[in-house]
Amino acid sequence: MSTISVIPGRLTDEVPATDHHLRRTVGGHYTRSVDAPDCLVVYVDGELDIINLETFRGALSEAIEGSAPTVVVDLRRTRFLSLRNALALVEAMEEARRVGVEAHLLAGHREIERVLQVTGARTRAHRTLASRPQSRGSAVAQ
């Protein structure tokens, strides 16, 4: 099962980010309370395959159309990223740039990072220190 959530955040808390302060709701989504949020975080836990494509697109659109000047897409707990979802991410990054929203990508696994590179998503977003790729079996960067 995968969870895709859009949650408020503070950029200084997200980059580098930890997820220890998230609470899972009854519906399986993540939430938290944040004083004076300055970014929206699209948090993905699980697999981004064809089944989740429209949900992922919707979450990206919601975040970009939100009132925050910055969007962080957190893929550090993502175990699989399909090419279609990566291309949806590329489209979202282009839309963010068009409307003046700064976009950051957090990734932790080499497999995910490779898909981001192949599709061009990586070049369209800010790379952060928390995005150092880890080899298979390694802990996700914090």
Q: pLDDT tens digits for 95-120?
A: 999 999 999 999 989 999 999 999 98
Number of helices and strands in the chain (H, E): 4, 7
pTM of the model: 0.73
Residue 140 resides in a domain: no
CATH code where residue 91 lies: 3.30.750.24
Residue 98: per-residue pLDDT: 94
pLDDT in tens, 36-89: 468 899 999 999 999 999 999 999 999 999 988 999 999 999 999 999 999 999
CA–CA dist 40, 63 (Å, integer)? 6
What CA–CA distance (Å, rounded) separates 61 from 57? Answer: 6
In a domain, 137, yes or no: no
Instruction: Name the strand (E) or helix (H) holding 118.
Output: helix 110-119
Supply the DSSP symbol for 20: T
The count of structural domains within the chain is 1
Confirm whether 7 is domain-assigned.
yes
